[in-house]
Structure 1
Amino acid sequence: MFKINKGREKKFSIFKLMSIIIFIMLVGFTTNIYINSNYRETTSKFYLSFNNKDYSNAKSLLDSKLLLVSKNKLNTDLENYFTDVVNKVLIALSNSEINNSSALEVLKEVDSYNILGDSLNKLISVLESPKNTAVANTNSPEEYKPPKTNSAQNENSYLNLGILAFNSKDYSTAISYFNLVSKDTPKDYEMAQDYINDYYSNYKDYLLDSVEELVANKYYTKALEILSDYDKSKLTKDDITEIDNKINSIRQFREEYQGEDSEYTSNAILQEITPSNINTLSIASKTPYLIYLNLNKQMTYIYSGEKNNWSLLKEFSSSTGIEGEETPKGIFSVTGRGDWFYSPDYEQGGKYWVQFMGDYLFHSLPFNEDQSEIVDYTLGAPASHGCIRLEVEDSKWIYDNIDDDTKVIIN
């Protein structure tokens, strides 16, 4: 009798222990879902408030104690977000779309979060100084006259400002800054020369790279100004032909999209678009569909509806451009389609292609020349030469259903 009771107690203890373990796992799982959901919702509201310059509300959103659990992730996400904001401020400044005061307002607010480094402080200092107008006047960097000083601190500022401009793809301004770095600061001078040599060694690539985001955001005139003022002595005949073709392509884009309403641009390009925030961004499309590509998740989302009344219709696993051949970020529109193409250079082709900018397409997984075999099944990770690869049936769905002029957003 004693042995039977002991066995029952043992079984009961094991059952009780397993129940506790399962309960703890369920609580942990549920808590994790809640924390992640709260994190996404809070950060989305923060991005929206910051984009709308509702800075006090943005700061209050980050006071949530739940965000402390995800502090490392939050710092990383904020660093990426604020870096993008600073880059866009520099671009807007160089396009004369905003003045120094407006730029300083945003940059000082970013600086108040203590996320970005010392280079941001130096940039703010330069913008606050009436003598230092190079950043605000990046259309004519050669007109900039630096203060007559040889202080190491000032030379270091030129280097850091050059790096900031370089990372913002404002290469002409960056080179102007690097040329101001004195030989009296050997390490800074050597680094500046490395940037200058790298720039001229890869002149064509940097030239095209400098206009990519401008074209993506429809700043066609500014892009044409940059490309029309290049140094032919640093290019081969083939390079010059490629640049001239790019100029013609941008001119066509400008003619096609001139006068298009772009009120949604600033909000849509700065943050991840989700079913929970898409109807707060004033995104419009000329058709009942909208395509959104999330580069981090390697996912393509199809929304149906209209401005501020979009519903998620489909989502497709995708594969975008590899490093060095990245898929461009920006806001585009569908411009054409075809059922097959083949590239001898890459020895592969794609079915059911839909064009959104130049040679950039949505298309199927790559096939061999006779279309009998898929040569690369990679999806969910970058693997293409800039286009967006999809399952064959997914690319066919876009080919069959998405009309020209449908808005395409990639970020």
Structure 2
Amino acid sequence: MTKFKRAFAMIITAVIVALGLTACGQSTSKSTANQNTTTNVSAQASVRPSKNAWKHSSEKKAYPNMKLSKKNWLDVSIKKQRVYVKNKAGKVLYTMLCSTGNDDGTPRGTFHIQKERGSHFYNASSKEGANYWTSFKDHGIYLFHSVPVNKAGKYLMKDAHELGKVANSHGCVRLSIPDAKWINSSVPTGTKVFIH
């Protein structure tokens, strides 16, 4: 019976993720919340978009150790196209370039990192996919992930070069390859995500 339950759970998870990745945020839902969104100006100034920013970590310093504090959280600024890793007091620990959803496609509000994550997906209907995806809403619908890839797994240069400059996703939060990989491997399930 345990094998049956495990197999059933895996099939259900695969179906949910497949359906979610098909949409990757194409339907929008909005929620609002009041949060402290204080940003560290010096941290913002040090992270600027460049043509090849999508290949590198957004900052030259090490990523924060998320295991040291369960109170660290992710602050996504749609206006600035940035993701800030903040501590409990709101101090910016790390700043990442991002590209959020065009046409107001990224949901606003408070969410949490969910257990669904993976190394790669491809959506045949939108003819794009991404690497290092991590769900933050609707269990596989809204994700943090790398800049997009085509069916062959090659990065889409036009979109990649716009990282941190333009909101051009279907609703997910696009990141540089190393930044997406870090969130995927180091940000614990349950971490707060505030999007405004």
Matching residue within 316, 329, 335 for 2:108:
329
* 4+ residue segments displaced more than 6 Å: none
Supply the AA of the counterpart residue of 2:155.
E
User: Can you give the 5+ residue segments of structure 1 that lack an aligned partner in the other structure?
Assistant: 1-207, 218-264, 277-285
Tell me the residue number matched to 1:385: 170
User: Which protein is richer in strand relative to its size?
Assistant: 2
What SS is found at the alignment partner of 1:373?
Answer: coil
CA RMSD, 1 decimal: 2.2
Matched, 1:347 2:130: no
| 1:350-389 → structure 2 map (5 Å cutoff) | 350-358=130-138, 359-375=141-157, 376-377=159-160, 378-379=162-163, 380-389=165-174
User: Highest CA radius of gyration, 1 or 2?
Assistant: 1
Distance 1:301 1:315 in 2: 5
> In percent, how many aligned pairs have the same letter?
32
Tell me the residue number matched to 1:395: 180
How many residues matched?
Answer: 137
Matched, 1:319 2:110: no
| 1:170-319 → structure 2 map (5 Å cutoff) | 212-213=29-30, 216=31, 265=33, 267-268=34-35, 272-275=37-40, 287-304=70-87, 306=88, 309-319=89-99
User: Which protein is richer in helix relative to its size?
Assistant: 1
Distance 2:72 2:37 in 1: 18
The answer on whether the counterparts of 2:146 and 2:174 sit within 8 Å (CA) in structure 1 is: yes
Distance change >3 Å, CA 399–CA 370, structure 1 → 2: same
Which structure has more RCO (C-alpha within 8 Å, separation ≥ 6)?
2
Tell me the residue number matched to 2:11: none
Supply the AA of the counterpart residue of 1:347.
K
CA-to-partner distance for each residue in 1:230-266, whole Å, 9 max, x for gaps? Answer: xxxxxxxxxxxxxxxxxxxxxxxxxxxxxxxxxxx5x
Shift of 1:352: 0.6
The answer on whether the counterparts of 1:289 and 1:402 sit within 8 Å (CA) in structure 2 is: no
Supply the AA of the counterpart residue of 2:144.
F
Distance 1:273 1:381 in 2: 22
The answer on whether the counterparts of 2:81 and 2:166 sit within 8 Å (CA) in structure 1 is: yes
What SS is found at the alignment partner of 2:102?
Answer: coil
Shift of 1:273: 3.2
Shift of 1:369: 1.5
Distance 1:397 1:386 in 2: 20
The answer on whether the counterparts of 1:273 and 1:292 sit within 8 Å (CA) in structure 2 is: no
The answer on whether the counterparts of 1:337 and 1:352 sit within 8 Å (CA) in structure 2 is: yes
User: Can you give the 5+ residue segments of structure 2 that lack an aligned partner in the other structure?
Assistant: 1-26, 42-68
